[in-house]
Every structure is written in structure tokens, then in C-alpha cells.
């Protein structure tokens, strides 16, 4: 018996086949050559058999995959509004327009148009942030982790920063307060216990080395039962008394009160600032609903120190971020924010409206689905424990045995991919996070996935 791997075609022979040669007319030659090599390698690794659909089709499919952009839109049918894996906040139309306005040409990013000299990008969202929040000063950087790094470096480098053991959060497995603190040059001093930290714990840990008291909002988990934490107001007072700085890592950046929609328990930016801490840090792409960014607000001297810190240069934000953030923030000036900013619209959406979207989706899918009550999630570590009632479209394949994992996989393979969740052995679609323009597309993709 000869090894079938010996009969694998040569690269040149495959390139000469008519359907492969035709690919070179519509794709760069180098890409097709790579697809040919990859296809042969794949066959070799799998015993040497020719691809089931023939070589030409396999090379064509691989070329198509190589040519496709690796970052692409997906449809979020999970009901998790701030889904970190799916890129968090979708942007408002005004923010998208602002980004594309600055994308193709030059901008006044660091140019003072009045004086005709070098300007500073630091001024770009600053006035708007001050106007909306009443903070003395503001600085925008690349993300909230970066904001925290800069603030700790500027306010606590070579000294101690005290933080409650109950607030040493890990977010998404890749973001750990202690690791960031270590890199900022500040030494972390943990005080209290996981569930209880008192004012006296901070007081006992104060030494001449202490430079800062840090408060971290406990995103994505709740500590319930026998608990005590020191409120930001008290911590700010204690810091002033001890003549050290205070910093509040707020996480989400809630600019509006969402209590009228039943969403409570997440401290707002206004509340955080009113506590009197020197600086507050939060994300641009969580509840704020803008682009990925880290925002520092607070007292003039504290923010000035952050702006001057060398790390601020390393985590500065780009023109796209600044354009999109400015446009998003501008929406907060008027009553349109709730409707215009997708994150806020999804979070405050009337459940009857979600039901109508579920019905439209159900109608499009047909007999293999029904509508059930369920819950959506805020996500992004915001409003932990909040209940968002929703209506879900539940898929129950009627004609064939189709495992929920297989169905979910087929939907992920749709164009654009549709991300769902599975519960009780069923694929569930939550219309809360499906954009109205996507409903029909999703219905069609589910039908196609059910039919094979």
C-alpha cells in the first residue's frame, strides 16, 4: 500500500487547475498560493485524502476565509447589553458620523486653529465633561484600566495606596487591580477583610508612606449578608484629614439616573464626584455608551498631575475615540440621550416593545419556536444583580434531532454571525440586544440553520 500522502498534488499543479487559476483573477496571487498550501497541508495532516468537495472548492473556500476581515460585525442575541466579548457599547449614529468625519483626512487633533500653532488633544472632550458633570477638570485616555494606571502613578507612585480587601476586583479574568497597582509604582496595602472593612482599618494602615486611599466599585459581583464598607464620602474625608489623595475607580460611568426604569444600585458619576474624592475613573464604553475610553474627572490639581504623568502619553486616546466620545457626550445635553445612545435605549426599553420584537422574530422563524419570559443582563460589571425582564424566542427543532450546541454553532457560522445563549437545552434569542434592522436577518438565519 502506498501512503496516500504521497499522492497529494503539488502546489503548482493545483494552481494550474482551471477553478484555482480563476481565483487568481479576483484575488491577490499570494493569497491564493497560501490557500493552496494550507489546503494541501490540511489534507496531509488528515491522512492525505482529497477534500470531499474536490480540491478546487476547498481552495476557493480557504481563499474566501483568508480574504475575509478578521474583525467583523456580529449580531448579539444574548441579551447581555454590555457584552465585553462582543465589543461592549454599540455607538450612537452621531458618534459613528463623528468618527467617519475625521477618518479620511487631516484634523485639528493637536492644532490650535485660532493661533495657527500646536494645540493639545487634551482639550477636546474636556469642556464637555466639565459641563456635564461639574468636575473641575477632566482627562480622557485609552481605557479605564489606563486611567487607573495613570492616576495611581501620578498620585501614589513610590508610596502606599490603601485599598479594601473587599474591593480587590478581577474583571473578565484579565484585569486585576493589584497587578495594575504594581505597575503604577504604588505599593498596594490591603486593609480589612473580604466582607467587612471599617474606617478604623484604613486609619490603622496610615503611615508616612501612605499617599492615596483607593475605592473600587465592586463591578460584576455583589457581597451580600454580613458586610461593611466605608462609603466614598467617608473615605474622601479621611484622606483629606490624613493629607493624602483619594481615587474612586467607578467602572461604568453612569451619567444619567436610570432609577425610573428600575435600575438602581450603580453609583453615578455625579454621586462619585459629590463624595469629594480627588479623582474618579471610569470607562467610556460601559453605561456611558460611547467608544472605548478611560475618563478621569476630579480636582484641578489631581487631574493636572495625571495629565503630566509620563504614562498619560502611553495611554493617550486617538482621534476616533475623541470624536466618538465628544459626539456621545453631546447627546447627554438634551433629552435624546436615552433614545439615541443604544446602550441606554436597550436598558430602558419597554418590555411590551421587546415582546413585539420577539413576536416578529417568532413569526419569521415559524413553528420551531415559541416565546417565553426571561431576563436580560446589563453586563460589563454594571448594575450587578439587576433584573431586566424580557421576552425570549426559544428554539425547539421539531423535524430532526438538532443539539442546541450544533444549532448555536450554525448560527455563529451565519453571515453575519449570530451569538445566542443556551439554557435548559434550548437555544434562546433575546430581542433586547438585536437591533430592529436585524430581526428579519436573524429569523432567516435561524430558518436556514434549522433546515440544515
Ligand X SMILES: *Cc1c(COP(=O)(O)O)cnc(C)c1O
Report the relative pairing of strands 418-419 and 75-76 from DSSP bridges: parallel
Q: Within a 10 A sphere around the Cβ of 431, how many other Cβ atoms?
A: 30
| Identified binder of ligand X from the candidate list 184, 197, 283, 390, rule CB under 6 A | 283
Residue number with CB closer to ligand X (63 or 153): 153
Strands 245-251 and 210-216: parallel
User: Considering beta carbons, is residue 378 or 445 the nearer one to ligand X?
Assistant: 378
Complete DSSP assignment for 380-437: TT-STT--EEEEEEEE---SS---HHHHHHHHHTSSS-EE-EEETTEEEE-GGGS-GG
Q: Using the rule CB under 6 A, which residue among 75, 92, 145, 327 binds ligand X?
A: 145
**Rounded distance between C-alpha atoms, residue 77 and residue 432, angstroms:** 8
Tell me how far, at minimum, the Cβ of 388 lies from ligand X, in Å: 18
Beta bridge partners of 251: 282
Residue from 60, 289, 294, 397 binding ligand X (CB under 6 A):
294
Q: Which is nearer to ligand X, 294 or 404 (CB)?
A: 294
Q: Which of 388, 359, 386 lies closest to 371, judged by CA?
A: 359
Q: Give residues with Cβ within 8 angstroms of 161, minimum separation 6.
A: 152, 181, 186, 187, 188, 189, 210, 211, 212, 213, 214, 247
> β-strand 418-419 against 137-141: which pairing, if any?
unpaired
Calpha distance 285→349 (Å, rounded): 19
Residue nearer to ligand X on the CB measure, 168 or 360? 168
Closest residue to ligand X in the complex (CB): 251
**Least separation, in Å, of the C-beta of 309 and ligand X?**
17
User: x/- string (CB under 6 A) for ligand X, residues 367-386?
Assistant: --------------x-----
Stretch of 109-117, 139-147, 198-206, 364-372 lying at the interface with ligand X (CB under 6 A): 139-147
Instruction: Give residues 206-225 in contact with ligand X (rule: CB under 6 A).
Output: 216-217, 219
Q: Pick one of 63, 76, 78, 143: the residue that binds ligand X (CB under 6 A).
A: 143
For the bound state, the minimum distance from the C-beta of residue 229 to ligand X, rounded and expressed in Å, comes to 14
What's the length of the chain?
A: 452
- Find the shortest distance in angstroms from Cβ 251 to ligand X: 3
Q: Which residues bind ligand X (CB under 6 A)?
A: 143-145, 169, 171, 175, 216-217, 219, 249, 251, 283, 294, 381
Amino acid at each position: 500500500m502506498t501512503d496516500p500522502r504521497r499522492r497529494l498534488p503539488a502546489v503548482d499543479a493545483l494552481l494550474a487547475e482551471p477553478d484555482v487559476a480563476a481565483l487568481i483573477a479576483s484575488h491577490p496571487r499570494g493569497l491564493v498560493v497560501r490557500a493552496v498550501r494550507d489546503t494541501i497541508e490540511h489534507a496531509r495532516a488528515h491522512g492525505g485524502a482529497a477534500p470531499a468537495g474536490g480540491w478546487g472548492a476547498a481552495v476557493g473556500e480557504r481563499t474566501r476565509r483568508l480574504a475575509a476581515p478578521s474583525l467583523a460585525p456580529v449580531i448579539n442575541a444574548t441579551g447581555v447589553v454590555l457584552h465585553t466579548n462582543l465589543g461592549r457599547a454599540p455607538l450612537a449614529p452621531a458618534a459613528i458620523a463623528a468618527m467617519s468625519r475625521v477618518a479620511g483626512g487631516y484634523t485639528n487633533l493637536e492644532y490650535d486653529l485660532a493661533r495657527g500653532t500646536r494645540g493639545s488633544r487634551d482639550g477636546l472632550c474636556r469642556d464637555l465633561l466639565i459641563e456635564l458633570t461639574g468636575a473641575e477638570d477632566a482627562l480622557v485616555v485609552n481605557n479605564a484600566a489606563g486611567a487607573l494606571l495613570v492616576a495611581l502613578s501620578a498620585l501614589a507612585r513610590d508610596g502606599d495606596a490603601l485599598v479594601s480587601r473587599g474591593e480587590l476586583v478581577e474583571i473578565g479574568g484579565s484585569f486585576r487591580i493589584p497587578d495594575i497597582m504594581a505597575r503604577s509604582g504604588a505599593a498596594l496595602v490591603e486593609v480589612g477583610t473580604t466582607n467587612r472593612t471599617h474606617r478604623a482599618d484604613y486609619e490603622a494602615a496610615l503611615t508616612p508612606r501612605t499617599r492615596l486611599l483607593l475605592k473600587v466599585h465592586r463591578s460584576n459581583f455583589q457581597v451580600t449578608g454580613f458586610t461593611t464598607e466605608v462609603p466614598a464620602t467617608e473615605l474622601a474625608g479621611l484622606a483629606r484629614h490624613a493629607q493624602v489623595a483619594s481615587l474612586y475607580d467607578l467602572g461604568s460611568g453612569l451619567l444619567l439616573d436610570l432609577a425610573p426604569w428600575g435600575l438602581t444600585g450603580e453609583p453615578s458619576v455625579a454621586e462619585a464626584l459629590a463624595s469629594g474624592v480627588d479623582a474618579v475613573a471610569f470607562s467610556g464604553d460601559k453605561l456611558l455608551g460611547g467608544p472605548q475610553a478611560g475618563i478621569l474627572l476630579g480636582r484641578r490639581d489631581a487631574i493636572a498631575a495625571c495629565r503630566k504623568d509620563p504614562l498619560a502619553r502611553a495611554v493617550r486616546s486617538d482621534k476616533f475615540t475623541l470624536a466618538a466620545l465628544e459626539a456621545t457626550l453631546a447627546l447627554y445635553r438634551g433629552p435624546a440621550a436615552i433614545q439615541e445612545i443604544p446602550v441606554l435605549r436597550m436598558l430602558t426599553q419597554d418590555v411590551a416593545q421587546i415582546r413585539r420584537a420577539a413576536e416578529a422574530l417568532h413569526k419569521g422563524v415559524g413553528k420551531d419556536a415559541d416565546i417565553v419570559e426571561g431576563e436580560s443582563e446589563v453586563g460589563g460589571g454594571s448594575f450587578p444583580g439587576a433584573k431586566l425582564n424580557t421576552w425570549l424566542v426559544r428554539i425547539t427543532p421539531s423535524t430532526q434531532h438538532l443539539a442546541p450546541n450544533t444549532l448555536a454553532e450554525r448560527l455563529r457560522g451565519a453571515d453575519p454571525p449570530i451569538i445566542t445563549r443556551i439554557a435548559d437545552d434550548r437555544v434562546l434569542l433575546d430581542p433586547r440586544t438585536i437591533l430592529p434592522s436585524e430581526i428579519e436577518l436573524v429569523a432567516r438565519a435561524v430558518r436556514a440553520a434549522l433546515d440544515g
